[in-house]
Structure 1
Amino acid sequence: MRDKQMLNVGKVSKLSVIDVLPFGYTLSGISQNAYGEQEHRVFLPSSDCDQSLSAGSEIHAFVYYAQDGSLQASLKKMPIQVGEFALLTCTGVTDFGAFFDWGLERDLLVPRAMQHKSMDVGLSYVVTLIHDKDNEKLLGCSKLYRFLEETNSELKIGEAVELLIYDESSLGFKAVINNRFQGLLFKSDLYKRISIGDRLPAFIKHIREDGKIDLSLQKLGKTARKDLAEEILEDLAAHGGISTLTDKSPPEEIQAHYNVSKAAYKRALGNLFKQKKISLSKTHIKLID
Structure 2
Amino acid sequence: MEEQTQRVQLGKYNRLEVIKELDFGLYLDGFEDEILIPRSYVPEGTKIGDFLDVFIYRDSEDRLIATTWKPFAQVGDFAYLEVKDVTKLGVFLNWGLVKDLLLPFGEQTHKMAVGRKYLVKIYVDEQTERIVASAKIDRFLAKEVDLQVGQEVNIIPYEYTDLGIKALINEKYIGVIYKSEVFKKIELGTPTKAYVKKLREDSKIDLTLEIQGYDRIHICKQTIINKLKLNQNTLPFNDKTDASIIYDNLEMSKKDFKKAIGGLLKEKLIEITEEGISLL
* Structure 2 runs not aligned, ≥5 long: none
- Aligned amino acid, residue 162 of structure 1: N
- Aligned amino acid, residue 122 of structure 1: G
What is the 5 A alignment of 1:247-262? 247-262=239-254
Paired position in structure 2 for 1:229: 221
Q: Partners of 1:6 and 1:263 in 2: how far apart? A: 56
Q: Does the C-alpha gap of structure 1 residues 124 and 282 become closer, same or farther in structure 2, counting only changes over 3 Å?
A: same
Q: Partners of 1:10 and 1:229 in 2: how far apart? A: 47
1:238 equivalent to 2:235? Answer no
TM-score by length of 2: 0.92
Residue 160 of structure 1, aligned match among 137, 141, 152: 152
Retained in 1: the 8 A contact 2:81–2:117?
Answer: yes
Retained in 2: the 8 A contact 1:150–1:212?
Answer: no
Paired position in structure 2 for 1:218: 210
SS of the residue 2:183 aligns to:
coil
Q: Partners of 1:252 and 1:6 in 2: how far apart? A: 54
> How many matched pairs?
276
Retained in 2: the 8 A contact 1:150–1:211?
Answer: no
Paired position in structure 2 for 1:177: 169
- CA distances 1:215-237 after superposition (whole Å, capped 9, x unpaired): 11111111111111111111112
- CA distances 1:154-209 after superposition (whole Å, capped 9, x unpaired): x2222222211122222121111122222111112110232432321111222223
Q: Partners of 2:77 and 2:248 in 1: how far apart? A: 30
Query: Which aligned segments of 4 or more residues in structure 1 are displaced greater than 4 angstroms?
Result: none
Paired position in structure 1 for 2:259: 267
1:70 equivalent to 2:63? Answer yes
Residue 40 of structure 1, aligned match among 25, 33, 49: 33
TM-score by length of 1: 0.89
SS of the residue 1:224 aligns to:
helix
Q: Partners of 1:166 and 1:254 in 2: how far apart? A: 26
The percent identity for this pair of structures is: 33
What is the 5 A alignment of 1:182-197? 182-197=174-189
* Structure 1 runs not aligned, ≥5 long: 31-38
Q: Partners of 1:131 and 1:170 in 2: how far apart? A: 34
1:286 equivalent to 2:268? Answer no
Paired position in structure 1 for 2:201: 209
Retained in 2: the 8 A contact 1:225–1:268?
Answer: yes
Paired position in structure 2 for 1:143: 136
- Aligned amino acid, residue 12 of structure 1: Y
Paired position in structure 2 for 1:110: 103
